[in-house]
Amino acid sequence: MVGIEFVCGSDVVLVVVDVLVVVVLVGMIQVVLIVVVVE
């Protein structure tokens, strides 16, 4: 998902970054849904 392969070339770093990106996206979607429902 995220092209940060130059960071130590570590698979662990890539996995952590991908997980964080997914968590952030899900959180944003939840916030948008809550706002839509409330309004």
Euclidean distance between CA atoms 17 and 19, whole angstroms: 5
Range of the domain at 1: 1-39
The Cα-based distances of 20 to 7, 10, 28, 34, 39 in angstroms read 16, 16, 12, 21, 29
If one counts every other C-beta atom within 10 angstroms of the C-beta of residue 35, the result is: 9
Number of domains in the chain: 1
The model's pTM is: 0.54
Query: pLDDT tens digits for the chain (39 residues)?
Result: 455 555 556 677 778 888 999 999 999 999 999 999 997
